[in-house]
């Protein structure tokens, strides 16, 4: 696998998805680790906290590809939640993502960040394999700073950076929850992202804010937010996120 350019700045690396983190570790894990699937970076690189490259940025085309080009409308669903011994944790709480295609779980496993769960789903769907090659993209796989801002990128389709990249933490930041309240055994689901792919390849993104994801709203916002659950949708995931951020006053 080709390495990332070594001379890029830390700031550039931080807005560039880690290639090794969306590759399945081709070797065999030992001991208690053998029960889980890991990315190549998790097993051979620095830990996610010290890796220079992002373990949270994902290309939305990877989500769309989970539908595997079906001939009928297909929905890829991502649920962001939290639970005790959920997402492969042991005797503690962890937040993470559930990934399903038309209601069938395809992203179950040990993880925390969105790219890891997409990788697990790709493996189960046959989109990715151990030792498989990198997806080929025409544009630079680093986030465009202007595109991520409220005003957007003035270069549009002429921008050299890929506008399909999005930071999973930005989506998670929409959830205004109160965290875990006591040792409840119930899993908490904060929000749901649906990617609906039509037979002709048209894509609709939908974000639904669930009641648990709104419990931490400031009292001043309660009257401005629709009854939960509520949904925004649109053709571009980032646009839907921006609208949610405006409503929820996410800075």
Residue 34, pLDDT > 70, answer: no
Looking at the DSSP bridge assignments, the partners of residue 248 are none
The region that residue 240 occupies, defined by phi over 0 for left and psi between -120 and 50 for alpha, beta otherwise, is alpha
Q: What percent of the chain has pLDDT over 90?
A: 53
Least confident of 39-53, 57-71, 206-220: 39-53
Sequence-ordered alpha helix ranges (H) in 126-193? 168-172
Residue 245, pLDDT > 60, answer: yes
pLDDT tens digit sequence for 138-164? 999 999 999 988 888 999 999 999 999
When mean pLDDT is compared over 33-47, 53-67, 215-229, the highest value belongs to 53-67
Q: What confidence tier does 1 reach under pLDDT thresholds 50, 70, 90?
A: very low
pLDDT tens digit sequence for 65-93? 999 766 679 999 999 999 888 887 777 88
- pLDDT value, residue 54: 95
Residue 2, pLDDT > 60, answer: no
- In contact, 195 and 64? CB cutoff 8 Å: yes
Q: Is 225 exposed, middle or buried (0-12, 13-18, 19+ CB in 10 A)?
A: middle
pLDDT tens digit sequence for 200-227? 889 999 999 999 998 888 777 877 888 8
Average pLDDT over residues 106-129: 88
- In contact, 129 and 112? CB cutoff 8 Å: no
- pLDDT value, residue 50: 82
């Amino acid at each position: 696998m080709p390495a990332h350019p070594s001379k890029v700045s830390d700031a550039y690396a931080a807005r560039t998805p880690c290639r090794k983190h969306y590759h399945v570790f081709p070797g065999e894990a030992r001991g208690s680790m053998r029960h889980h699937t890991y990315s190549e970076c998790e097993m051979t690189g620095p830990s996610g906290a010290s890796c220079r490259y992002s373990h949270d940025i994902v290309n939305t085309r990877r989500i769309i590809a989970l539908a595997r080009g079906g001939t009928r409308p297909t929905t890829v669903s991502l649920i962001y939640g939290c639970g005790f011994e959920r997402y492969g944790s042991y005797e503690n709480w962890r937040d993470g993502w559930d990934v399903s295609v038309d209601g069938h779980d395809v992203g179950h496993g040990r993880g925390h960040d969105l790219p890891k769960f997409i990788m697990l789903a790709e493996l189960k769907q046959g989109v990715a394999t151990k030792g498989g090659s990198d997806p080929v993209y025409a544009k630079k796989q680093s986030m465009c700073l202007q595109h991520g801002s409220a005003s957007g990128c003035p270069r549009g389709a002429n921008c050299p950076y890929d506008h399909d990249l999005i930071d999973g933490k930005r989506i998670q930041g929409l959830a205004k929850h109160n965290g875990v309240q006591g040792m409840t055994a119930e899993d908490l689901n904060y929000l749901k992202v649906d990617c609906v792919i039509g037979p002709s390849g048209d894509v609709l993104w939908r974000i639904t804010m669930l009641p648990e994801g709104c419990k931490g709203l400031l009292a001043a916002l309660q009257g401005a937010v629709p009854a939960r659950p509520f949904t925004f949708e649109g053709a571009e995931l980032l646009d839907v996120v921006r609208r949610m951020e405006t409503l929820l006053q996410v800075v």
